[in-house]
Amino acid sequence: MTIGTIAAIIAGLFLPSIALIMGSIAQNFGDSGLSPSDMSEVIASTSKWVALVAGVILVFSYIFFAYWQVLAENISLNLRKIYLKSLLNQEIAYFERMKIEQIPAKMGEIFETV
């Protein structure tokens, strides 16, 4: 959970830098004193920065999502085990009130909600 949270924070910290890079692109296009070769050099340099920042955001976002997804699956699995254990400890009268086919459907609905 800690690794996923740190990765999410790092990915979030890099998001505003995309806006700053795009702002510099707009500023460079507004500068009429640049020659076409200088403009292409500025665009190439800016493109490299955009690719670098986007790559960092992609990597850290993937780490964040992967770690939190594993955590959610583990929590869901533990809850299913606890629910099934408590279900099996019920009195037999509990099962007489419902059809046996309803139990898996009810479990699916509960854990889809969770």
* pLDDT tens column, 94-112: 777 777 777 778 777 877 7
- pLDDT band at residue 52 using 50, 70 and 90 as cut-offs: very high
pTM score above 0.75: no
Residue with tokens 């479990």: 107
Average pLDDT, the chain: 84
Neighbours of 60 (CB within 10 A): 20
SS3 category, 31: coil
More confident of the two residues 94 and 52: 52
Distance CA 18, CA 95 (A): 58
